[in-house]
Amino acid sequence: MSIETRKNIEGAIFLVLFCLTIPGANWMLGNFGTVCPPNSPCLVPVAPGLMAPSGVLLIGAALVLRDLVQRRLGVEFGIGAIVAGSAISVAIAPASLVIASAAAFMISELTDFAVYTPLARRRLVLAVVLSSLAGLIVDSVIFLWLAFGSLDFLMGQIVGKLWMVVLAIPLVAYLRRRDERIGLTPA
């Protein structure tokens, strides 16, 4: 298999996984958690004494996956993934959360893009960490404020998303080392 074919296949896999995080996060909110109060999202512990809506786990993963889509398929696909993700968010979010969900997704992913893009060629792992951190803070603040007019769950949202970024760092570091070894250059 050629290097270009491998890059395209991996990019397609990252793109599909990215798009699946959105319906997955919405499903988790209503079905997965250690506590699922009536008329409220299911919650998971993200730190001692700190709970967050369960969907934050997949939103944290989405930030990293979008970076990997861009690395494999290019800036155009990175932007396309943001647009597609926002459309999916609008299509599946509960009516009461459509604006909050779409706005938070679009703005946070664009923030991620703006931080990731200039850093990615020189310092991939740092680019993923910093861009994801910026994106997850923006996502959390915008979503909570627009959806609930409150930042009560802010720390839980940030910590929950950050766990997924931290868990993804070894994969990103592995991909960077492997890419250098086999001569695969970023898109």
| Per-residue model confidence (pLDDT) at position 110 | 97
Where do the DSSP E strands lie in 1-115?
43-47, 50-53
CA separation for the pair 69, 103 (Å, rounded): 21
Length of the chain: 187
For residue 18, the surrounding DSSP H or E stretch is: helix 3-31
The answer to whether 53 touches 42, Cβ cutoff 8 Å, is yes
Q: Return d(Cα 45, Cα 82) in angstroms, integer.
A: 28
Query: Of 50, 53, 120, 59, whose CA–CA distance to 89 is shortest?
Result: 59
What pLDDT was estimated at residue 160?
97
Q: Indicate whether 54 pLDDT > 90.
A: yes
Instruction: Delineate the domains of the chain, giving CATH numbers in brackets.
Output: 3-182 (1.10.1760)
Single pTM value for the model: 0.93
Query: pLDDT tens, 88-120?
Result: 999 988 888 889 999 999 999 999 999 999 999
Torsion angle in degrees (nearest 10) through CA of 81, 86, 91, 95:
160
* 185 — pLDDT class (breaks 50, 70, 90): confident
Task: From 164, 166, 130, 135, select the one nearest 25 (Cα to Cα).
Answer: 164
